[in-house]
Amino acid sequence: MASTEEKISRISAPERIERLLSKACEAKLGALVRLNEMDTVAVRGVMFDFVLLDGVRVIKITSMSIKGVQHLKQASQCVVELVMMNAKVVFAAFVVKSFADSIFVTQPAELVNFERRKNARYPVPSNQAAFISFSTWLPKSTDLVAPPCVSGFEDFTGWIRIFDLSMGGISAQMLTPGPVGQLERGFEDPGAILHLPSQERIKIPCVIRWTKRISDWTRLNPANKYTRLFKIGCEFVEIDQKATTVLHQAIRDFSTAGAV
């Protein structure tokens, strides 16, 4: 889920609801389907089309996993969230039928639109990894503030794990000072590289906007453990079409990472 404040609006006119959902079907938008708002299991699907089923006009949501359809099979109602970049649309509907990799739901009485800020932040899921590397910070094994350097993997020493990602920039964090304190706020790196899951790495110029040092005590049996985190925030200063496509795909993957 994006980290941002959201502006909420509601749409209840039937003609407008049908028009918006028809466009969602034409665009084959991704959908996350849950049994209810409290359901922690989301089933990933694709908006397909309005179809006639026993003389009733219903919405077909397809491309679901077998496990997902089984989860929804016994439901009489569901909650559908349309996956978009700068907004999300949620509606409740009755489940009319499930078949193969699809479910069929009624047209809702209301759409709820959550408008996100321009560059909503998306946390990188714990089961995925994304990194940024700076062309101007190349740590050596003798550098006391660098991460551990493993023989044969020196090229990865300068990769910093990304904490969250948006179309406008990233925040990253590490357990060693790394570039924090070496690269000053306002410094621009024209050769920074993003390494995103299942994506070709992309070169994306960025400027460092802030750095933080955070001290934290965490209680772990059998003793207390003191942790210091070093964080850095970067803003993208130039995004070409290739980078835009890669970022869109990564954000889409992050936002649906928990779906079955």
pLDDT grade, residue 227 (50/70/90)?
low
Total number of residues shown for the chain: 260
Q: Shortest CA distance to 212 belongs to which of 187, 233, 240, 186?
A: 233
pTM, whole model, 2 decimals?
0.62
Q: Averaging pLDDT over each range in 34-43, 95-104, 120-129, 154-163, which range is the top one?
A: 95-104
CA dist., res. 103 & res. 126, Å (int): 30
Range 199-220 average pLDDT: 81
DSSP conformational letter for 156:
G
Residue range 6-116 in CATH 2.30.110.10: yes
Angle 98-100-102 (CA atoms, 0-180°, nearest 5)? Answer: 55
Q: Give CA–CA dist 212/106, Å, rounded.
A: 49
CATH architecture for segment(s) 122-255: Beta Barrel (2.40)
Structure tokens at 37: 């708002």
d(CA 140, CA 160): 14
pLDDT given for residue 61 in this prediction: 96
pLDDT exceeds cutoff 60 at 100: yes
| Helix, strand, coil percent values for the chain (each to nearest 5) | 15, 45, 40
Q: Is residue 125's pLDDT more than 80?
A: yes
- Per-residue pLDDT at 95: 93
What confidence score (pLDDT) does residue 1 get? 47
Q: Is the predicted pLDDT of residue 213 greater than 70, yes or no?
A: yes
Q: Is the pLDDT of residue 166 over 60?
A: yes
Task: State mean pLDDT over 42-51.
Answer: 92
Task: Please report the pLDDT score of residue 196 as a whole number.
Answer: 92
Region 126-146: mean pLDDT is: 80
CA distance 231 to 187: 15
Residue pointed to by tokens 């059998």: 222
**Alpha-carbon gap, residue 217 to 105, rounded angstroms:** 49
Check residue 174 and give its pLDDT.
83
| Positions of CATH 2.40.10.220 in the chain | 122-255
Largest CA distance in the chain: 74
62-76, 89-103, 146-160, 230-244: segment of lowest average pLDDT: 146-160
Listed in order, the ranges of the chain carrying CATH 2.30.110.10 are 6-116
Q: Coil, strand, or helix at residue 102?
A: strand
Q: How many CB atoms lie within 10 A of CB 20?
A: 17
- The stretches of the chain forming alpha helices (DSSP H) are 14-26, 66-73, 241-255
Which pLDDT belongs to residue 153?
Answer: 62
Token representation of residue 39: 């359901």
In whole numbers, what is the pLDDT of the chain averaged over residues?
A: 84
Between residues 148 and 44, the one the model is more confident about: 44
